Amino acid sequence: MKLGALEAGGTKMVCAVGNENGQIFERVSIPTETPEKTLPAIRDFFLGKGIEALGIGCFGPVDLHKDSPTYGYITTTPKLAWKNCNIVGYLKDALQVPVGFDTDVNGSMLGEATWGCARGLDTAIYITIGTGVGVGVLAGGRLLHGMLHPEAGHLLLTPHPEDHYKGKCPYHGTCLEGMASGPAIEDRWGKKAYELTDHTKVWEFESYYIAQALTAYILTLSPEKIILGGGVMHQEYLMPMIREQVKNLLNGYVDTPQMRDLENYIVLPSLNDNQGIMGALKLALEAIPV
């Protein structure tokens, strides 16, 4: 079976063809410009590939309610060119195949739950920390949508006592995305994250904000595993700092086997950065009528 997968990110659109086992046969990366430029390029990649369905994991916010007149739309995104863009409708009409649709981070969560380190778990979260910050939630063995879908990347935080930065988020200022995303790091420090490897204070602040958010997620969602992805997490010594901060913030209040083994509880993605595309393949498979 040939399936199409689209990981629609704020910086790039990764298009791939694979199968129901999560195998990826072919992929391309297309810059995220305007819908008028980018969507036809996506369409042209998939045309003639013989795919039976397409799965889309998309940056948001998006409308996931199938009975809504704007189902399949990107809605109130800070990427203004994509606001109110009917991404599902365009590609469904262009390719004439069923389309499965969810957020990009829910797609990554689904990939890890189907083939990766969250396989067999009831409740887990996937967090991407990069151009933006998003959180995908698996709860009761299913992706969580609710009223909209989790937007926990915009969890409001208490600023570090030494950090006087006002935050990058145009909506909330000092939310997790506003304080810990890649653009927030660059705006605060004047350099991109990968150029600041040896600057201890950068990562002290970063681990403080990420751990503060993780503590809130642990106390509200009680996940069995936390997966941290995205470009910011490529800093090798950031993960131990986050784990230590989480331990300190919880202060022994949550006593479970997971909390006594943080190295296997708060982890990096396990699918070689393919979790988003593999999750989109699963969304495509689930879109095919039985």
pLDDT tens profile 128-167? 999 899 999 999 999 999 998 999 999 999 999 999 999 9
Give 81's contacts (C-beta < 8 A, 6+ positions apart): 33, 34, 35
Alpha carbons 109 and 227: distance in angstroms, whole number: 8
Q: Which residues pair with 134 in a beta bridge?
A: 128
Res 109: pLDDT: 98
CB atoms within 10 A of CB 148: 15
Residue 83 lies in a domain: yes
Res 10: pLDDT: 85
pTM of this structure: 0.95
Alpha carbons 265 and 227: distance in angstroms, whole number: 8
Looking at the structure, tell me whether residues 210 and 227 fall in a common domain: yes
CATH number of the domain residue 30 falls in: 3.30.420.40
78: pLDDT strictly greater than 80 = no
Over residues 213-241, the mean pLDDT reads 96
Residue 189 lies in a domain: yes
Is residue 182 within 8 A of residue 232, CB to CB? The reply is yes
Q: What angle do CA 60, 48, 83 make, to 5 degrees?
A: 20
Looking at the structure, tell me whether residues 23 and 92 fall in a common domain: yes
Looking at the structure, tell me whether residues 125 and 148 fall in a common domain: yes
Looking at the structure, tell me whether residues 77 and 150 fall in a common domain: no
Preceding peptide of 61 cis, ω within 30°: yes
Residue 112 lies in a domain: no
Q: Residue 108's closest CA among 287, 286, 270?
A: 270
Question: Of all residues in the chain, what percent carry a pLDDT higher than 90?
Answer: 95
Q: Coil, helix or strand for 229? A: strand
Alpha carbons 3 and 1: distance in angstroms, whole number: 6
Looking at the structure, tell me whether residues 41 and 173 fall in a common domain: no
Q: Which helix (H) or strand (E) holds 182?
A: helix 182-189
Looking at the structure, tell me whether residues 133 and 254 fall in a common domain: yes
Query: Cα 119 to chain center, whole Å?
Result: 17
87-115 pLDDT tens trace: 999 999 999 999 999 999 999 999 999 99
Q: Where in the sequence is the domain holding 24, given as residue range(s)?
A: 3-106+273-287
Q: How confident is the model at residue 119 (pLDDT cuts 50, 70, 90)?
A: very high
Is residue 32 within 8 A of residue 10, CB to CB? The reply is yes
